[in-house]
Structure 1
Amino acid sequence: MLSEDLSKIIRSASFDIEQSGTLPEDLLQVAYEEKLFKLFLPEELGGRALTLPEAALVFEDTSREDGSFGWLTTIGSGGNLFLENMTASQAQELYSPVNSVIAGSGYATGEAHVEQDGYRVSGKWRYCSGAPYASMVTANTIVWRDGRETDEMRACIFMPDQVEVIKDWNAFGLKATGSHTIVVNDAFVPMDKTFSVVKKQNSLGLAVHSFPFVQFSQVSFTAVCLGLGSRFLEEAHKLAEQSKPHWEAERIAMTMRLLDERQHRFNEAAQLFHAAVERRWEMHLRDALNDQELDQLSAVCMETVDIATDCAVQLFRRLGMQAVLETSPVNRVFRDLWTAGQHGFLTRP
């Protein structure tokens, strides 16, 4: 759980975050101080060494206070998953600073041409959340040798001065996540600043680093949607109460009944989600997690997001003109929820 003071700090900055389209510097410093981008790093690297169930609660809580802040907390900590893929020396150097945070992309849309002791890299990658303040950027590339494309994929670690950020994130929600396109032109990347996403190179990792990546991501993003869904219901209740003097009795009764029904359905889904995550985490620790259990966890995640977004849609139509104003809290959280829920890991085939 977030402290009451931290919750107030995040929520009080929420309007400015939306209007400016970025995290204010003072809030970014709070994130560093609270180690919110280091949830999955060991203490020796300045991390909080959380389990996946524990971190899911942090993602949910931060997203409840502000969608963009919660998303960036989730993405920033997700970058910790590359810890074991790097060489030990690079991992210690890059993750140890207080302001260490990764932005990047899993799409292999770059080219890495083999040179002596490294690669000459160019490429363009979309949706790199946190790019404006990242201390490093990771992105996948296809390796080229002797002028020919190979079937080998290599992740490269770029320093900020090697990266151009194209500010093209214009989604209708999560406006302050800085999920921009990054471009790298003819940058030299030493061999020890590249890695394979499937090869382990050190023993610095925690139990979370061996949890299957797809389900790790689904759990993380579902937690964001739960936080946003919870905030939407909170704001919907507030708006309905404020509107009672202006609504007919029948409308008040129908709206409040629907609010209660959707709140109950949402609470059930949240409980089932967290129970499912706890179960798979315990199985993971016992080395008993199988494909069937993972598939079921994926299904729970997608069902949970469906319920959260469906609750918002059903209620939004009942909330009147105030809900359509972009400055309204219920409007913003509605947009953030739907944007988060569109992530490829959460959409059904």
Structure 2
Amino acid sequence: MNITADLPPHPSALLQPDWVKIIRAAASKAEAQGKLLPAQLQLIEEQQWFKLLVPAAYGGLETPLPALVALEESLAWADGSLAWVVTLCCGAGWFGGFLQPQLARQVFSTPLLCLAGSGAATGTATPTAEGYVLNGSWKYASGAHHATHFTANCIFHKNGTPVLTADGQPQILPFIAEKAQVNLVAAWKYIGMMGTGSHAFEMKDVLVSKNHCFKITPDAVVVDSPLYTYPFLQLAEATLAANLSGMALRFIELCKPLLNARKSNSKLNSNQQSVLEAQPETAVALMNDARLHFYKAVKASWLNAAAPELLKAVSITSRHLARTARECVDRLYPYCGLIAAAPDTEINQVWRNLHTASQHSLLTFSE
């Protein structure tokens, strides 16, 4: 495997040590409470991480994709739950490039801004003279406890019947609503990513004005910037894969002292000791090879997002990175001993977070 100078730095290079300390010191308690803690949220607010993809015109950071995925990988190395909330909530901020300016300025000037939501079309929108009436329920809204606004996909209805597109499919468009218009439903009961508070939410006969409906198609871009003409699919794939990469790198670090300790066991023969010696280095090499191709693909597509083959490369390398992260961790896990299965240890938390996050449908298949 040829790892060149193009390989991005280790995730620790992008985070100040005191940031990492704040994030990790609260990780276990965030799991117990099912949401990020005030110290973590204060750091996010200070660094404007929820505004990473908000247009600069509205006070956001409008971060280029290569820098975004590198930061999100770093945050996932620090803690998977915090990184996932930042990734999903700042990802919703990307919609700012498509909102009408008057509404966008209102939304993004909100104190302690945080956008949560769902891409599933499990709601309905019925047009009225005043705007739209929204009904439905949506799952997996990461960061729901901290959200000031929610975005949700809805199927257009008229006279109780779905409106169909020209090709006979239900017409689906996203909407944005304020937190006060949404009811949270406690539903996140999975083994990992417990600190994300990725609960469900519902809306019942919620009236929103017409400008709360928007499109994310190329012809609907309001903010003239490369960030908002970059396809949402590859943006989502890349940011999610970067999270898994960061978690896997942290797992490899945490397993090294465990394997070193096991090597001193007199019951192991030389071959077994050699296996323990080689496993972490092999995992690092595999991860760095996958990271190298991933970051090259992201950078190339960012410089020329109009090239279909470059975008396809992002999809392929994102999935490959996600698969490599899972496989490297699973290859190491049996050698770590029972401590890796103890739920009150960081290595087990990382293992649970990675295996929960990797169930995201965008990362399931190779292509």
Give TM-score, length-normalised by structure 1.
0.94
For the residues of structure 1 that align with 2:108 and 2:208, how far apart are their CA atoms? 18
Residue number in structure 2 paired with 1:146 = 159
Deviation, 1:28, is 0.9
Write the deviation string for residues 67-94 of structure 1: whole angstroms up to 9, x where unpaired.
0001011111101221122111001110
Q: Does 1:156 align with 2:187?
A: no
Write the deviation string for residues 38-80 of structure 1: whole angstroms up to 9, x where unpaired.
1122334222221000010110011101000010111111012
Residue number in structure 1 paired with 2:74 = 61
Residue number in structure 1 paired with 2:93 = 80
Q: Bigger shift: 265-274 or 236-245? A: 236-245
Q: Does 1:197 align with 2:216?
A: yes
Write the deviation string for residues 8-42 of structure 1: whole angstroms up to 9, x where unpaired.
21122222222222101221121111101111223
Residue number in structure 2 paired with 1:307 = 324
Asked if the contact 2:260–2:276 (Cα under 8 Å) also holds between the matched residues in 1, the reply is no
Q: 1:241 to 1:198 in 2, by over 3 A?
A: same
Q: Does 1:71 align with 2:90?
A: no
For the residues of structure 1 that align with 2:264 and 2:28, how far apart are their CA atoms? 27
Deviation, 1:245, is 4.5
Identity, % of aligned positions: 28
Q: Does 1:122 align with 2:130?
A: no
Residue number in structure 2 paired with 1:37 = 50
Asked if the contact 2:69–2:242 (Cα under 8 Å) also holds between the matched residues in 1, the reply is yes
Asked if the contact 2:297–2:310 (Cα under 8 Å) also holds between the matched residues in 1, the reply is no
Q: 1:111 to 1:178 in 2, by over 3 A?
A: same
Deviation, 1:114, is 1.6
Q: Does 1:209 align with 2:222?
A: no
Deviation, 1:149, is 2.1
Residue number in structure 2 paired with 1:50 = 63
Q: What is the DSSP-based 3-state SS (H/G/I as helix, E as strand, rest coil) of the residue aligned with 1:154? A: strand
Residue number in structure 2 paired with 1:218 = 237
For the residues of structure 2 that align with 1:125 and 1:182, how far apart are their CA atoms? 5
Deviation, 1:131, is 1.1
Asked if the contact 2:119–2:153 (Cα under 8 Å) also holds between the matched residues in 1, the reply is yes
Q: What is the DSSP-based 3-state SS (H/G/I as helix, E as strand, rest coil) of the residue aligned with 1:113? A: strand
Residue number in structure 1 paired with 2:308 = 291
Asked if the contact 1:32–1:98 (Cα under 8 Å) also holds between the matched residues in 2, the reply is no
Asked if the contact 2:301–2:307 (Cα under 8 Å) also holds between the matched residues in 1, the reply is no
Residue number in structure 2 paired with 1:233 = 252
Deviation, 1:200, is 5.4
Deviation, 1:219, is 0.4
Q: Report the residue type matching 1:190 in the other structure.
A: S
Q: 1:269 to 1:119 in 2, by over 3 A?
A: same
Q: Does 1:326 align with 2:343?
A: yes
Deviation, 1:239, is 2.1
Asked if the contact 1:76–1:130 (Cα under 8 Å) also holds between the matched residues in 2, the reply is yes
Asked if the contact 2:82–2:196 (Cα under 8 Å) also holds between the matched residues in 1, the reply is yes
For the residues of structure 2 that align with 1:47 and 1:192, how far apart are their CA atoms? 20
| Aligned residue pair count | 345
Asked if the contact 2:55–2:94 (Cα under 8 Å) also holds between the matched residues in 1, the reply is no
Residue number in structure 1 paired with 2:9 = none
Residue number in structure 1 paired with 2:112 = 99
Q: Does 1:270 align with 2:286?
A: no
For the residues of structure 2 that align with 1:335 and 1:154, how far apart are their CA atoms? 34
Deviation, 1:247, is 6.0
Q: What is the DSSP-based 3-state SS (H/G/I as helix, E as strand, rest coil) of the residue aligned with 1:342? A: coil
Q: Report the residue type matching 1:80 in the other structure.
A: G
Asked if the contact 1:41–1:206 (Cα under 8 Å) also holds between the matched residues in 2, the reply is no
Q: What is the DSSP-based 3-state SS (H/G/I as helix, E as strand, rest coil) of the residue aligned with 1:170? A: coil
Q: Report the residue type matching 1:277 in the other structure.
A: V
Deviation, 1:299, is 1.0
Q: Does 1:182 align with 2:201?
A: yes
Q: Report the residue type matching 2:298 in the other structure.
A: V
For the residues of structure 2 that align with 1:163 and 1:242, how far apart are their CA atoms? 51
Q: What is the DSSP-based 3-state SS (H/G/I as helix, E as strand, rest coil) of the residue aligned with 2:173? A: strand
Q: 1:75 to 1:124 in 2, by over 3 A?
A: same
Q: Report the residue type matching 1:292 in the other structure.
A: E
Q: Does 1:257 align with 2:278?
A: yes
Q: 1:4 to 1:302 in 2, by over 3 A?
A: same
Deviation, 1:265, is 1.3
Write the deviation string for residues 212-237 of structure 1: whole angstroms up to 9, x where unpaired.
11111110001101100110101111
* 5+ residue gaps, structure 2: 1-13, 165-170
For the residues of structure 2 that align with 1:212 and 1:27, how far apart are their CA atoms? 30
Q: Report the residue type matching 1:155 in the other structure.
A: P
Asked if the contact 2:54–2:97 (Cα under 8 Å) also holds between the matched residues in 1, the reply is no
Q: Bigger shift: 200-209 or 70-79? A: 200-209
Superposed CA RMSD: 1.7
